[in-house]
């Protein structure tokens, strides 16, 4: 598979995962508003550094699973049920709650990078998400688990994460003035994305029957 295609697969999948308003992108936006764009970008670089490592760990885990096909089939079926339940929860059950007020007390460039590293490290969702997505695209024949492909995919994922954080940093005023960042719409966004992943999971299961 062409490494350019693999790079853009990683980029698009990461953008989809980071698009819903969450702790990382909202923190990057609020840092930029309070301290300037440069500090928001430094925070984002710290986030992306960890995302690269998390994606590589996910790809290694996916490579192991790909050699145990029976385990993959069981995990896909379990994942399908989990994704459907999550989608139903966020679309129909989850209720609005007050937005957390993320304030920042430190202003050094180094501290912003470290803060990005820390917040990204405690957000472990990218590991199972990327593990599942790499298995899925490998199943379609779009990805192989050789070192170059894995590094290219991880670079795409880190770049995609940075692109989405960059969008939040520079367009947060416009986004925030709309209802996109309301808790209700955040829940809908998460539910829709999870529903799409559930559909992809179902397609993969049906293709293997």
Q: Rounded distance, CA 11 to CA 166, Å?
A: 14
User: Would residue 74 count as lying in a domain?
Assistant: yes
CB neighbour class for 122 (10 Å; exposed up to 12, middle 13-18, buried from 19)? exposed
Tokens 């990327």 — which residue?
Answer: 130
pLDDT at site 132: 80
Mean pLDDT for all residues in the chain: 80
Tokens 């760990």 — which residue?
Answer: 57
User: Would residue 118 count as lying in a domain?
Assistant: yes
User: Would residue 80 count as lying in a domain?
Assistant: yes
Can you give the residue range of the structural domain that contains 150?
3-96+106-207
pLDDT at site 98: 45
Report residue 89's pLDDT band, with 50, 70 and 90 as the boundaries.
confident
pLDDT at site 95: 58
User: What pTM, to 2 d.p., does this model score?
Assistant: 0.74
User: Would residue 184 count as lying in a domain?
Assistant: yes
Q: Rounded distance, CA 8 to CA 53, Å?
A: 18
User: Would residue 87 count as lying in a domain?
Assistant: yes
The mean per-residue pLDDT over the stretch 49-71 comes to 86
Q: Rounded distance, CA 81 to CA 129, Å?
A: 15
The mean per-residue pLDDT over the stretch 79-84 comes to 77
Count of structural domains within the chain: 1
Report residue 110's pLDDT band, with 50, 70 and 90 as the boundaries.
low
User: Would residue 155 count as lying in a domain?
Assistant: yes
Report residue 174's pLDDT band, with 50, 70 and 90 as the boundaries.
low
pLDDT at site 30: 87
User: Would residue 10 count as lying in a domain?
Assistant: yes
User: Would residue 101 count as lying in a domain?
Assistant: no
CB neighbour class for 129 (10 Å; exposed up to 12, middle 13-18, buried from 19)? buried
Read off the pLDDT of residues 158-167 as tens digits, 9 standing for 90 and up.
Answer: 999 999 999 8
């Amino acid at each position: 598979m062409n490494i350019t295609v693999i790079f853009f697969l990683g980029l698009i999948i990461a953008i989809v995962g980071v698009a819903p308003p969450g702790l990382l992108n909202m923190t990057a936006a609020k840092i930029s508003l309070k301290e300037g764009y440069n500090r928001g970008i430094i925070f984002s670089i710290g986030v992306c550094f960890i995302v690269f490592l998390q994606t590589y760990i996910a790809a290694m885990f996916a490579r192991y699973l790909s050699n145990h096909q029976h385990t993959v089939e069981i995990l896909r079926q379990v994942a399908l049920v989990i994704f459907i339940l999550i989608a139903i929860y966020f679309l129909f059950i989850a209720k609005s709650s007050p937005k957390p007020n993320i304030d920042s007390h430190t202003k050094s460039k180094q501290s912003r990078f470290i803060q990005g590293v820390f917040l990204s490290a405690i957000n472990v969702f990218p590991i199972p998400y990327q593990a599942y997505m790499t298995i899925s695209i490998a199943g379609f024949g779009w990805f192989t688990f050789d070192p170059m492909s894995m590094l290219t995919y991880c670079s795409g994922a880190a770049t995609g994460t940075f692109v989405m954080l960059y969008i939040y940093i520079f367009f947060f005023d416009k986004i925030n003035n709309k209802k996109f960042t309301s808790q209700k719409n955040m829940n809908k966004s998460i539910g829709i994305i999870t529903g799409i992943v559930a559909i992809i999971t179902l397609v993969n299961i049906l293709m293997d029957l």
